[in-house]
Amino acid sequence: MAYFELHGQVPVGETLGLTNTEIVLQVSKEASIETKPAVLPSLAGQCVAEVIGTFIVILLGDGAVAAAVLTGALDGWAVAVMWGLAVTFGIYVAGSISGAHFNPAVTITMAILRGFPLSRVVPFILSQIAGAYLASACIYGLWRGFWSGAAERLGVSIGQPGSQKLMMIFSCFYPNPGSIGIDAAAMAKVSTTGALLTEIVLTMFLLLMIFALTEETSTGTPQAGLGPIFVGLTVTAIVGIGAPLTMDAVNPVRDFGPRLFAYTVGYDRVAFPGPRGNEWWLYIVGPIIGGVLGGIVYRYFVKRFLPARN
């Protein structure tokens, strides 16, 4: 466009002491520089960023759950706020390198609907699992002196039925073992279908918000640098309403990575397949379905109606 606007404007050329040809060449050169596609960071660099970012999210999020379960220092609202802060901090650290997915549901949805390279999907997901696993190991080490006392206080033996009341520090169960309970009456309050639907709906909302907050053609996105705060607030809201029902994974690696670690330290069948026999896959399938649905809802029912920018 710049070429056609300036081409043939002889007075401008005369004022600057340039010929029309020189103006055209200069503007064309500048346009080529401006439109040069950005070079993606290396896959290795992006994977490292995903490991570090996911580590931050799980360290602070599950760390908050640990403080709540092991000491009672935090209530449900405080845990929700901590999860939101965890995501915000992780995005600020890794976002400019990897896009700050930290979540296979985000990675897969971006690949399907926003052109994220398919060749990077599996490496990203493996990096996210690694970050979550390492963060879980760190939490376990930091709180090492509390585990036996907490197990005795809760009346559970690690790896035995009921020990999800302690393993909930790492992974998700439905309903929440701490606030709702683990007896038959408590378990009946949230069915498998209900838990799956909860994860689908809440992850759908998460991706709907992520797409809205990162849409380049929208005039309603936050100012530069503020997007991570609003993503974090979205996570806080989601955890606030979803924690009693399913402990609100909305992220397969938020559950799967820590679940792997819990298995390695003795939680056995409480970790895999889980007390109901389906926890290990429910928190994978639900968020992925929900994430893709959220992206579809945004593309076809929101983005298409956005006012055109001048």
pLDDT band of 38, cuts 50, 70, 90? low
How many other CB atoms sit within 10 Å of the CB of residue 230? 17
Mean pLDDT taken over the chain: 90
DSSP 136-187: HHHHHHHTGGGHHHHHHHHT--TTSTTTHHHHTTTS--SS-TTTT-SSHHHH
DSSP 119: G
Mean pLDDT to the nearest integer, 267-273:
97
Which pLDDT score, from 0 to 100, does residue 264 have? 97
The better pLDDT of the pair 22, 80 is held by 80
For residue 242, give both structure tokens.
């979803």
Per residue in 179-231, pLDDT tens?
999 999 999 999 999 999 999 999 999 999 999 999 999 988 888 889 999 99
- The helix, strand and coil proportions of the chain, stated in percent and rounded to the nearest 5, come to 70, 0, 30
What does the alpha-carbon distance between residue 88 and residue 102 come to, in Å, rounded to a whole number?
11
Q: What is the pLDDT of residue 36?
A: 54
**pLDDT recorded at residue 15:** 36
Would you state the pLDDT for residue 37?
A: 56
Average pLDDT over residues 57-62: 98
What pLDDT sits at residue 26? Answer: 46
**For helices 76-98 and 227-246, angle between their N-to-C axes, nearest 10 degrees:** 130
Where do the domains of the chain lie, and which CATH numbers do they carry? 2-34 (no CATH), 43-305 (1.20.1080.10)
pLDDT value at position 262?
Answer: 98
Mean pLDDT of 26-30: 44
Other Cβ atoms less than 10 A from the Cβ of 216: the count is 6
The rounded percent of the chain whose pLDDT value lies above 90 is 83
Percent of the chain with pLDDT over 70: 87
Across 71-77, average pLDDT = 96
Model pLDDT for residues 81-135, shown as the tens digit of each residue: 999 999 999 999 999 999 999 999 999 999 999 999 999 999 999 999 999 999 9
- Residues 67-77 have a mean pLDDT of 96
Band (pLDDT 50/70/90 cuts) for residue 18 is: very low
